[in-house]
Structure 1
Amino acid sequence: MLRPAVTTAFVLAVAGLLSGCAGMVIGAGATTATAASEERGLEGAVDDVKIRAEINHLWFQKDVDMYRQVTLTIKEGRVLLTGTVPTPDARVEAVRLAWQPAGVREVINEIKIDSGDSGFGDYARDVAISQKMKTALLFDKEIRNINYTVDVNEAVIYLMGIAQSDAELERVLAYARDISGVRGVVNYVRLKNDPRRNGS
């Protein structure tokens, strides 16, 4: 469990590792700049990294497979769980543990039970869909792509983040729906002025 005295630089460095960012040489400075430019701000990003680290720690202690099979997406204390686990009990336990860290405001359970039908081909398809979606957001100048996260499981796109406007969100959703092979789009994006962002 992370101690309250952990420094911002350390937490943001960990964020880079957890998100699979190459280039540790860049250091926490670049990560800090990126986090500060997000709608949730630097403090919100740090809080989310703490939550991510603690949930991953709890899952790893409980079951290494749970840690490997369930994907975390966190924005402003909202925790989205995706991935596939072997049993309903494992699904319930993953959700229970996700509620444990301080600062968790909501846990959204999109974990699926393993049907035994998926394989490497399905994984490769999901990765391809994810990359197409992220690329589309990156090159659209009317979308602040840094505020969005994209996760794909079994050809379903899960979106989370903060939209500047209804128009921006509609552009994001349109990209998701237009990607070949997508079976569904699940939207957990909130608008910038949504009162729920402040706990209202």
Structure 2
Amino acid sequence: MHPLAPLGRGLCLCAGLLALAGCAPALFAGGVTGIIFAAQERSVGEAVDDFTIQTSLEAKLLQASEHLSRRVNLKVVEGRVLMTGIVNTPEDERTALALARDTGGVREVIDELEVGKAPGLGKFVSDTWISTVFRARLSTDSQVAFINYGYEVSEGRIYLIGIAGSPGELDRVTEHARTIKGVREVVSHIVLKSDPRRPA
């Protein structure tokens, strides 16, 4: 993660807290948040559980070292934790993975961490641009339920996680990612809604 990235993470965390704080009344009042949760393949309880896993693991990473907190990116869907980013040493990677596996509620840890030097400003700007374009494509595609997907971009690679309602939707999401200028690889950990590995 680039040194500027924690600002974006903080804004996302605040947005998540606001969304979850308002979900219960909105569901009963028929508000916007209720509509958003209705579009999710996860239940409200599962979404809250995922948020709890993410915040707990972020706290553990920060307690372990500021380096891990800054360089490890997390996305959690139905207890599956996608870990991306570039850490300094193999020991850093092992520590991050162990912390994830030891976090309550985690069903699977997906290791996409790399060991090496942090990308320079040029790559950070390129990744940010790719992320912005991808988000715009998903959020404006009426055949994609954007709320069901998470992603991270690192050195031109887009890492995907989430729940696709159909094979066709999965193909659309992958194609949106693959055709963005500057994308070198798309790594998908998306599962279908009908996947038997999902929680009952």
Please list the CA deviations of residues 94-146 of structure 1 after superposition, one character each: whole Å capped at 9, or x if unmatched.
Answer: 00001111110000111111236x21111111111011111101111011111
User: Does 2:21 align with 1:21?
Assistant: no
1:175 Cα deviation from its structure 2 partner? 0.9
What is aligned with 1:185?
Answer: 186
- Distance in 2 between residues matched to 1:85 and 1:159, nearest whole Å: 20
- Distance in 2 between residues matched to 1:49 and 1:23, nearest whole Å: 9
**Which of 53, 56, 60 does residue 54 from structure 1 map onto?**
56
1:53 Cα deviation from its structure 2 partner? 1.4
What is aligned with 1:138?
Answer: 139
Structure 2 spans left out of the alignment, 5+ residues: 1-9, 27-31
User: Does 2:165 align with 1:164?
Assistant: yes
Structure 1 spans left out of the alignment, 5+ residues: 1-15
- Classify the secondary structure of the residue corresponding to 2:175: helix
- Distance in 2 between residues matched to 1:174 and 1:159, nearest whole Å: 12
- Distance in 1 between residues matched to 2:19 and 2:148, nearest whole Å: 24
- Classify the secondary structure of the residue corresponding to 2:132: helix
**Which of 48, 55, 66 does residue 64 from structure 1 map onto?**
66
Q: Is the 8 A contact 1:81 1:107 kept in 2?
A: yes
- The 1:26–1:159 alpha-carbon spacing in structure 2 relative to 1, beyond 3 Å, is closer
- Distance in 2 between residues matched to 1:71 and 1:99, nearest whole Å: 15
1:60 Cα deviation from its structure 2 partner? 1.0
Q: Is the 8 A contact 2:39 2:145 kept in 1?
A: no
- The 1:20–1:150 alpha-carbon spacing in structure 2 relative to 1, beyond 3 Å, is farther
Deviation above 3 Å: which 4+ runs of structure 1?
Answer: 16-20, 22-27, 29-32, 34-37
- Classify the secondary structure of the residue corresponding to 2:197: helix
User: Structure 2-normalised TM-score?
Assistant: 0.84
More relative contact order in 1 or in 2 (CA 8 Å, sep 6+)? 2
- Distance in 2 between residues matched to 1:36 and 1:114, nearest whole Å: 41
Please list the CA deviations of residues 68-93 of structure 1 after superposition, one character each: whole Å capped at 9, or x if unmatched.
Answer: 11000000000000011111100110
User: Structure 1-normalised TM-score?
Assistant: 0.84
- Distance in 2 between residues matched to 1:81 and 1:113, nearest whole Å: 13
What is aligned with 2:6?
Answer: none
- Distance in 2 between residues matched to 1:47 and 1:127, nearest whole Å: 28
1:36 Cα deviation from its structure 2 partner? 4.6
Counterparts of 1:1-200 in structure 2, within 5 Å, are 18-21=12-15, 28-29=22-23, 33=34, 34-115=36-117, 118-198=119-199
- Distance in 2 between residues matched to 1:25 and 1:85, nearest whole Å: 31
Paired residue total = 183
Identical aligned pairs, as a percentage? 40
Q: Is the 8 A contact 2:160 2:187 kept in 1?
A: yes
- Distance in 2 between residues matched to 1:54 and 1:25, nearest whole Å: 18
- The 1:20–1:154 alpha-carbon spacing in structure 2 relative to 1, beyond 3 Å, is farther
Q: CA RMSD in A?
A: 2.3
Which AA in structure 2 matches 1:28? G
- The 1:153–1:24 alpha-carbon spacing in structure 2 relative to 1, beyond 3 Å, is same
